[in-house]
Amino acid sequence: MAQNIGTSTRSLHADDALNVVSDVAPPMHLATTFRYSDDPAKLFPVADLSDSGLDPTSHIYSRASAPNPTRFETILSALLNGTAISYSSGLSALHAALTLLNPRRISVGEGYHGCHGVIALFTRLTGLQKLPLDCPADQLEAGDVILLETPLNPKGTAYDIASYAQKAHSRGAYIIVDGTFAPPGLQDPFLWGADLVMHSGSKYFGGHSDILCGVLATQNEDWSKQLFHDRVFLGSVMGNMESWLGVRSLRTLEVRVQRQSKNTARLVQWLATALHAPNAAPGSDEAAVQSVLGEVFHASLQDEGEWLKKQMPNGFGPVFSICMKEEDLAKTLPSKLHFFQHATSLGGVESLIEWRTMSDATVDRKLLRISIGLENWEDLRNDLVKAFRELRA
């Protein structure tokens, strides 16, 4: 599909070539195994098949391919500007990436604690050494990896992909960019030097809090072939139901994410302005905010010069974090809110708030992560104001 086609158009039409029935909405296929042709002339031993000769509408066994995952990957390949491979979860996608590259060292920041769990498994099995994200370049060697999560979980702050890509490539190392918090339309890591792009598709690709999946994308043809081959034996395939739901969700990806990003930008700006308002009048919204809130974190608040605007030209992501003045305030705030659901994860159409220490033992206990949904932002703001007033009282 032509690269000048818009994001929403790609979401709706990148899989047109896979339409083998007349249904406008793609059907769900639950089969795990598929009949071979009754025509002996169309039977070819697997050893005689080349990758270029594979028919994306023909399947044998769902651990290798199936109609719904193939359609999901076809759309994502168009959106991510690289060949997309789907997995059963975001962490299984990282496992596949490290299996592919098999680095001796990995440079990584704080980020999602689950990724550190996968790295710990490789450390136990292969001796993989974990280095700080900002380690000196000369500590990296050929074949090593920088794992860069941007925007960062849980704060929603961003890193300069190009600078870390330059650092990796200067040493013959690779850079994996986890772009979960900035799906297509907000950020394209390949433009800034990424070798692999990773997403927890459970978040914005799913978008409705009902899918578990992960995605890798690469522009290296040899790597994509190896990743597909490896997945057959890793067994970490995406389910048929999840793939079907994923296709449904990708159709609205751009409009969902743009609305969520705009809501977030307005809320973050309002919070930051209220927090730093001078001489807040007693009884005002600003006074309520200042009485309980300590800090706000989000990429839109970073003073980083031009690279951030270039890297994220259409918005800075729909997740941010706040740090309350006291731990008990952070623990209590979710119970005072009406439109924010107290739950982990992010990226759904509904707004979520999480006292992050409930699922991540490494974070400040005063921190709350907030994932903004599709509600009217004024209602979310008023909900927060009401809760802050109750906490102050």
pLDDT of residue 3: 64
Residues shown for the chain: 393
What order do you get walking across the sheet with 105-108 strand by strand?
83-87, 214-218, 196-200, 174-178, 145-149, 105-108, 129-132
Cα distances (angstroms) measured from residue 215 to each of 96, 104, 352: 10, 23, 23
- Sign of the CA dihedral running 174, 180, 181, 184: positive
Q: How confident is the model at residue 20 (pLDDT cuts 50, 70, 90)?
A: confident
3-state secondary structure of 305: coil
pLDDT of residue 187: 97
Domains of the chain: residue spans and CATH: 7-250 (3.40.640.10), 254-392 (3.90.1150.10)
pTM of the model: 0.95
Rounded Cα–Cα distance for residues 311 and 31 (Å): 41
Which residues contact residue 2 at a Cβ distance below 8 angstroms, ignoring those fewer than 6 apart? Answer: none
3-state secondary structure of 15: coil
pLDDT of residue 2: 61
Share of the chain above pLDDT 90, in %: 89
Contact 353, 322 (CB under 8 A): no
Q: Is 313 exposed, middle or buried (0-12, 13-18, 19+ CB in 10 A)?
A: exposed
Residue-wise pLDDT for 42-66, tens only, equals 898 888 877 655 788 889 899 999 9
pLDDT of residue 225: 95
Q: Which of 242, 253, 97, 259 is nearest to 184 (CA)?
A: 253
| Span of 26-30, 211-215, 368-372 with lowest mean pLDDT | 26-30
